[in-house]
Chains A and B, each alone.
Chain A
Amino acid sequence: MTDWRKSVQANHQRPPGRPLPHGVIDRFWQEAAALRAIESRLRDLYRRWGYTEYIPPSFEFADTLSTGAGTLLQGQMYRFFDRDGKVLALRPDMTIPTARLVGSKLFDQPFPHRYFYTGPVFRYTEPMAGMPREFYQSGVELIGAGGPEADGEVLALAVESLRELGLQDFRIVLGQMAFFHGLLEALNLEPADEQALKLALDRKSDPALRTLIDRWGLEGNLREAVMRLPRLYGNEGVLNTAQEVALNETMRAALDTLRAIEKIVDAYQVKAFITLDLGEVRGMEYYTGITFEGFVPDLGTPVLSGGRYDNLVAAFGPPQPAVGFAITLDRILRAQHIHKVPQVPWMPDIIVGGTVTPQHVTLVQEARESGRKVAWCYNAHTSSELWAYAERWNIPKGVWFDDDNALVRESGNVFRVPLNEVNPLL
């Protein structure tokens, strides 16, 4: 084998580094191919379910993107000025632009609308668990349908998406903000106390909950409802237990919705992937109904998150109920890596070298038209140099043209093929 490493070292000194800003990465080789493969599988899946593509702008007015975004997401936006001094921002998620599109432009077109998107979003966060500040999301929004059927559809599509990407043993954790909002109605707390309660639930901290309950002097069924919230988690019986602690109509209606959703996801045969957690109150500020997150074994962070946001479209136009989810592709890549999901090939199938005659070009074009990925290597002066190149780049097949003959190398074997008989590339 030609030692290409030696020649590289002999001829080039390491060039000076050109650092990238914190939080952005070059995606190339396997990484780029894998990312695009994920996108194209999801795109095909979403199309089969009747979703149509929405390509939002990468940046728009910061005001617009702040709508319903909550302080956390707002604080994470990349903002900059245009020449008129207007404040722009890079999109921190895809849901807000979708809500703007439907609310302000497509509000009078027959509903429901179904949109999917795929592309980078930008958040100024501490890179966490391999998440760059420019990261890729694919997801769907189902707008103009408020019932449990829509919730069930989107949940089922979330499960199908993760399956489509070769993941197994994952779990979708389903929460219900409406249940928590009903509890807040019953408790009638000051805004700061609501935040404290939310934080304690976010941390699943029994001691913090007990401290709050004591401080507020909650008694009887109010106390019971708060303390039991973190335990309203699991599958069988959770809804019945929740029914016992429900304090008002809002909470009971929220549970009825979950029962109806349960029937729908059962019909889609994806119920086994879903776990209820009524104590889950995190997620985007704009969520009003169900919320859900997808977890994959051995990956500490969720790969998918979504929920119902019935008030967001109303910020831009006539109100429309809406539900959707987004998958974080950077984390899917990592999950696929951990779980050894077979990788797509990213290099050509065939590398071709030797003389470039009209006959040889014709043969190469024939192979390309039949779907083979074929590239010329002009830098190899001998067949063995071509084989070395093929080996370095993991290209399974090499073809060396020598006028009327070709040397073909495949799985380590080299054989001679006369060109007037067959195309050695096919």
Chain B
Amino acid sequence: MPEHIRMALPKGRLEHDARQFLARVGLMSESPTNGRALIVPGAEPWVDFLLAKPADVPVYVEHGAADMGIVGLDVLREGNYDVYEPLLLPFGHCRLSVAVPQDQVDAYESLRLHPTLRVATKYPNLTLEFFHARGLTPEIIPLSGSVELGPLVGLADVIVDLVQTGRTLRENGLVEVRIILHSQAVLIANRASYRLKEREVRDIIDRLSKHIGENDELGGEMST
């Protein structure tokens, strides 16, 4: 009898792709289950899934409340989590970018020349890391949604936010000027589970990696 494995999945942006990918691999059943259940059974009796807010996924995994998890690199790097990251998964591609109002693109060609930058973002840590690495100390305005509003209403000069197609930015008159992080979904594992449930964790990693094609875009990391 294999050891039980609990995997944390992020609700929201990555949820659909994650479910589809896990179904393709044969770990999750195709049929939609009760939409409200927070713990759903897997396609095999020794696996189940916990649905959590994306930012909570690495917390569950780091503490061992879930053995493994799927989360965006953006969320993972925003915190500082002590987990293993054996695989990048072929979905959830996006970038964390600095965007400025269209009419000020020229003014922000050099971020260095703006000593009193106000930056609205949902990612204060990654934003600070990016600016600090350039010797800049902007004022961070932490928001929890609709960051694009910041420059429109004069709350911030620029924003740092996730960009997938760029449509939201365009619609709000913003232009991407720097990329902080290329993000995509990543498989994470608890350090103790990786040791104590070695066979099952390895099995899941191997099964998932077989379904990652040669042409899937891989390798997202901090741009420096």
Contacts and interface: CB of A to CB of B under 8 A. Distances in A.
A297 B196 contact: yes
A275 B195 contact: yes
Contacts of A234: 198
A204 B86 CA distance: 5
Given A128-B62, A207-B219, A302 B84 contact: no
B191 interface: yes
A295 interface: yes
A302 B63 CA distance: 11
B85 interface: yes
Contacts of A208: 85, 219, 221
A259 to B, nearest CB: 22
A138 B193 CA distance: 24
A301 B64 contact: yes
A210 B219 contact: yes
A344 interface: no
A296 interface: yes
Given A211-B221, A299-B64, A300-B64, A203 B195 contact: no
Interface of B is mostly: mixed
Interface in B32-54: none
Interface string A166-178: 0001010100000
A301 B195 contact: no
Nearest to A231: B202
Nearest to B194: A204
A299 B192 contact: yes
Contacts of B65: 300
Interface of A is mostly: loop
A173 B64 CA distance: 17
Interface residues of A, number: 24
Contacts of A301: 63-64, 82, 191-192
Q: Which of A128, A129, A205, A210 has the largest count of B CB atoms less than 10 A from its CB?
A: A205
B190 interface: yes
Interface in A289-315: 295-302
Interface string A259-275: 00000000000000001
A207 B65 CA distance: 26
A206 interface: yes
A204 B195 CA distance: 12
A173 B221 CA distance: 29
Interface string B65-92: 1000000000000001011111110000
B46 to A, nearest CB: 15
Interface in A151-181: 169, 171, 173
Q: Which of A126, A129, A207 has the largest count of B CB atoms less than 10 A from its CB?
A: A207
B196 A171 contact: yes
A203 B62 contact: no
A300 B85 contact: no
Interface in B115-160: none
Given A171-B196, A295-B196, A300 B86 contact: no
Interface of B: 61-65, 80, 82-88, 189-196, 198, 209, 218-219, 221
Given A204-B86, A205-B86, 14 more contacts: A126-B80, A173-B195, A203-B85, A204-B85, A205-B84, A206-B86, A208-B85, A208-B219, A210-B219, A211-B221, A275-B195, A295-B192, A301-B63, A301-B191
